[in-house]
Chain A
């Protein structure tokens, strides 16, 4: 490989990107649009779930229980209804996802037997939301229940001793607020890198064929690996710029914690970029048409990265066969890596295994890409 020729190719490519508004838009605007669209659009947190209350007792006790719902940020009281038909129509019209019904004998039973119950009616058309809403409701009711018990004990014994049944003391690490945005946004960086990287490079060789410049290029002493490395270098630089944009938006705008080092982030990102840039380049060599290559690139990068990398959809909840397939999805390793860097501050050593997988992938793609390009017309 000769540096003069490498430099000539890289400079030429850079000039061409600079003068092609389409490429430039993809390269520089994509991180912003994707970050903001998906960063705001995709959130797994349920807050302010609309709830209907039907207080059939209207006592101090029942109101006190419903106050707990009102106070919680997970729920928002949509309506207070007075009849069952009203409640049913509220659910039918999707005014609420959950309805809490306090029975007319709520206080009576509480006083007589020490236990009482409330009814929760859930709209389970979206079972995930229903499950989460139910979980939150149970938590609120048991919180209230504890208050009642302590209160009763206090009144009976005068001396309030700490009752301590077995309790789970859970501590949430790395994403203390269980904010799903902290979990999604680092993964989003992988999606953006995959999208931008493969899209741009899928055009680079096919453009030369379509514009007829390839015929002259192959008649020169330039070697296939010089063409490949020279053409990919500017895109790698663009990838670094995009990664920096993503990092800035993630931390400064969305407030996602960044606990790792920049070195680990950029080293692993370079590795991942090598894979996606290589895939785009390989497709460009094989397909020779800009439209065709960019479509296939989209299919091979964007799709597996959004669906099978674990960026949003947890891999361990997928069917076993799909789980096995995800081992082939290179973005899976990068998503694991980048989440660990952002949230856990993991270093190279802790990430050795996924890094190794990416290395193997990068080596394979580069070898294929370097061999696919032949300086012949037949």
Chain B
């Protein structure tokens, strides 16, 4: 099922709109009736496993792929009708690093400045901004191929924002970058958003999703849920979450499959997460049930779900629903 489209924040225009978007490659459905809206200045995060269709949606919104059906509207322009019209309004960072490695930092920036026809009078200043933003001051003449991952990503972002696009599409911009650099990269994204830039960013790092204003969970080309991280954690799993610590996970897991009012039970590290309808009721019920089986957990307590819990739960529910539908 599609998540409900979020109403736009008051007074702001939706910069990116997907309506019932479908993209097929032969018989394979890469994007399956996806709808969402992103308001101006909002950071929307696409969260999902590799191959879920995140890149395909982004490429379709950039006009690089033609949608099989449905509509994509970016900066008020129908992408399928006028893909060229969209280009000047967007900045794009593809999943694979796609700047020229045999050009220097400065030469890459000059190239994109020329391609986007950045006014000459402003080009120096904007290049300066991009270089400072990427932390590449003093390395202007360095061949891009010699730079480390974090710098590459920030330079790619610098090239993508050189023409001051109101909309940014960032496809897994931080994959393969060390955590400190990732943190810094997200600071940059937040700065841009605070200046009104609309950002659509995909990631498969759960912790990064927390930095987004809103998240869209994507699996098998379907948009399973959208909402702010807080809201998703609150409502996304449709129940309460208990943490159970014990010595022998195997027998415990086995026994809990048959425990009353336990909807799901899964291993998280060296403990178990239990999804229950009502935390208080189960906190009273479960120790007795386990005792009757001769099992004694070290500790059992209520926890607030992480995004990962929500994601695992929603995907499981989605798979179950799809199975029932078929």
Contacts and interface: CB of A to CB of B under 8 A. Distances in A.
A298 B84 CA distance: 35
Contacts of A220: 87, 112, 115-116
Interface in A215-229: 215-223
A5 B100 contact: no
B117 A4 contact: yes
B75 interface: no
B103 A377 contact: no
Interface residues of B, number: 31
A376 B86 CA distance: 14
Given A12-B107, A213-B100, A220-B87, A378 B115 contact: no
A248 B131 CA distance: 47
A19 B66 contact: no
Decide if the interface of chain B is mainly helix, strand, loop or mixed: loop
Nearest to B97: A212
Nearest to A5: B115
Instruction: Give the size category of A's interface with B.
Output: 20 to 34
A218 B115 CA distance: 11
A321 to B, nearest CB: 43
Contacts of A20: 102
Given A211-B101, A212-B94, A216-B99, A221 B66 contact: no
Contacts of B100: 12, 16, 211, 213
Given A15-B103, A15-B107, A378-B25, A8 B64 contact: no
A288 interface: no
**Among A9, A15, A20, A221: residue with most chain B CB under 10 A:** A221
Contacts of B65: 376-378
B208 interface: no
B93 to A, nearest CB: 8
Interface in B205-244: none
Nearest to A18: B102
A110 B36 CA distance: 111
Q: Could you say which of B90, B103, B115 has the most chain A C-beta atoms within 10 Å of its C-beta? A: B115
B96 A219 contact: no
Given A19-B102, A216-B99, A221 B94 contact: no
Contacts of B103: 12, 15-16
A12 B111 contact: yes
List the 7 closest pairs (A to B, CB-CB), nearest first: A8-B114, A216-B98, A221-B87, A219-B92, A212-B96, A215-B94, A377-B64
Interface of B: 25, 59, 62-66, 83-84, 87-88, 90, 92, 94, 96-103, 107, 110-117
